[in-house]
């Protein structure tokens, strides 16, 4: 019986020096992020004042359940905001919310004035609705009508084809077609 090598047993029996050496070799092969990329990532994280964040007008979620927001607020008071929101810089020190509106709203309810944010200036304005929709679909938190309206927004407002929406959100074209019939 041959033993299948997996990434989980690859470092068994190796010293920390061996593992570090392998990691350095992998970095040089571009398998792991280069130190330049890691430095750039650290520049893209900040604690942002909640009052400097503007809501995304194309946010697919339209309804925010008060009970759920209150539960999230209480959790944030106890544990802090575990998952950062995602924003992009706007003019005059403002930020536009890309994802995390529920977290942003709950943080305000918890009287938190600065929240952790990943700053994604690389996302163009017309791509923000796509990112917002994908993030909400991945979390499975959208109501079917909100999901359908998000797809229609990409199609009507941003001129996506159904095929492009399908690829953007990793759903079948027939799923997209069925949802927009709602």
Active site residues: 101
Q: Which of 34, 44, 100 is nearest to 72 (CA)?
A: 100
Q: What are phi and psi of 142, to 5 degrees?
A: -85, 145
Q: Give the residue carrying structure tokens 């650290």.
A: 42
Q: Which of 66, 65, 60, 70 is nearest to 100 (CA)?
A: 60
How many degrees, rounded to 5, is the angle at CA 140 between CA 137 and CA 141? 100
Q: Which of 167, 131, 162 is nearest to 148 (CA)?
A: 162
The CA–CA distances, whole Å, from 54 to 3, 24, 98 equal: 54, 41, 10
């Amino acid at each position: 019986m041959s033993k299948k090598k997996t990434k989980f047993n690859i470092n068994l029996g190796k010293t920390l020096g061996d593992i570090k050496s392998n990691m350095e070799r992998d970095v040089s092969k571009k398998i792991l992020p280069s130190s330049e990329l890691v430095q750039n990532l650290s520049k893209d994280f900040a604690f942002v004042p909640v009052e400097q964040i503007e809501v995304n007008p194309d946010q697919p979620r339209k309804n925010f359940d008060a009970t759920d927001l209150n539960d999230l607020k209480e959790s944030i008071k106890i544990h802090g905001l575990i998952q950062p929101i995602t924003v992009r810089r706007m003019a005059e020190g403002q930020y536009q919310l890309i994802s995390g509106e529920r977290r942003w709203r709950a943080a305000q309810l918890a009287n938190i004035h600065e929240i952790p944010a990943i700053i994604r200036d690389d996302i163009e304005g017309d791509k923000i609705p796509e990112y917002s929709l994908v993030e909400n679909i991945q979390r499975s938190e959208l109501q079917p009508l909100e999901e359908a309206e998000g797809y229609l927004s990409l199609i009507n407002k941003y001129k996506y084809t159904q095929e492009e929406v399908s690829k953007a959100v990793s759903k079948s074209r027939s799923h997209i077609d069925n949802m927009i019939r709602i």
